[in-house]
Amino acid sequence: MLVLRLLNVVAPAYFLCISLVTFVLQIFLFIPSMFRDPSTTPLFSPALLHGALFLFLSANALGNYVLVIQSSPEDLGKDLNLGKGGEVADWLDGSRSPGSALPSTHFCRLCARVTQRHDHHCFFTGNCIGSRNMRNFIMFCLYTSLACLDSLVAGMAYISATLSMSFVDPLAFLTLLPHSISQFFSGALLSSEMFVILMLYLWLGIGLACAGFCCHQMLLILRGQTRYQVRKGMVVRARPWRENLQEVFGKRWLLGLLIPVLNVESDYRRQKEK
């Protein structure tokens, strides 16, 4: 448990550090290198378009990241009758007050609260993912993956121009790291260039991981399930996939796809307000 709590603090700091390094490399290294002659650069040059695209992707990724933390799942433990002197762990095991438990609720030991439609605990946000912040979490994964892909392409263009090498051959990227390490220790490669090459593989790994996680999460949403339900083998009521999507993304799904907006309120809160 101590290791998990430590990871819950280190992982968000690691993500913010990678985001800051990516932003600095894009703004102060990659984009300026695309301008050959700023005095003759047209208005809609590739550099300006790339800069606008990167800022759009970064703003959506960081905006949804903040909303995931801000829209943390509400604590239902104070509203559930767990029994006098009863432990939450007893309620989780189903040995106490089974009629008072809402479906798909779960107690997170890291957050120390009961959340509705619990999916999983995300260490990179230091928060649980549930019904309130699921849409923002998916948008965060999507735009993080796209931002990493954008940075990967820009970094490869920078390395290609700096080292006068071509990435037409797919094996060129696979052999870039071992070849660069040998050149770095022999003194033929600068530290800044070696750092950019390492960041290329880091962006590739983060981008593929976020894309795969986003696709897996969308598949579960279409089925009307959460990762917690799948892990526990819970049976869910079959519903049309359109209803499952609308429950997560709401009717303003297009607005949430373009700009970071708050997620729809949970069914539990709407029933409680009624």
How confident is the model over 213-257, as pLDDT tens digits?
999 999 999 998 888 888 888 878 888 988 888 888 887 778 878
Residue 158: Cβ within 10 Å count: 21
Helical spans, DSSP H, in 120-252: 134-163, 170-174, 176-185, 191-223, 227-232, 241-249
d(CA 45, CA 37): 11
Taking 70 as the threshold, does the pLDDT of residue 142 lie above it?
A: yes
Question: Helix, strand or coil for residue 173?
Answer: helix
Taking 70 as the threshold, does the pLDDT of residue 174 lie above it?
A: yes
Rounded to a whole number of angstroms, the distance between the first and last alpha carbons of the chain is: 39
As given in the structure block, the two tokens for residue 87 are: 């432990």
Instruction: State residue 100's pLDDT score.
Output: 42
Task: Read off the pLDDT of residues 62-87 as tens digits, 9 standing for 90 and up.
Answer: 999 999 988 776 655 555 544 443 44
Please give the distance of CA 154 from its chain centroid, rounded to a whole number: 21
Question: Helix, strand or coil for residue 94?
Answer: coil
Higher pLDDT, 41 or 112: 112
- The catalytic residues are 122
As given in the structure block, the two tokens for residue 143 are: 């735009």
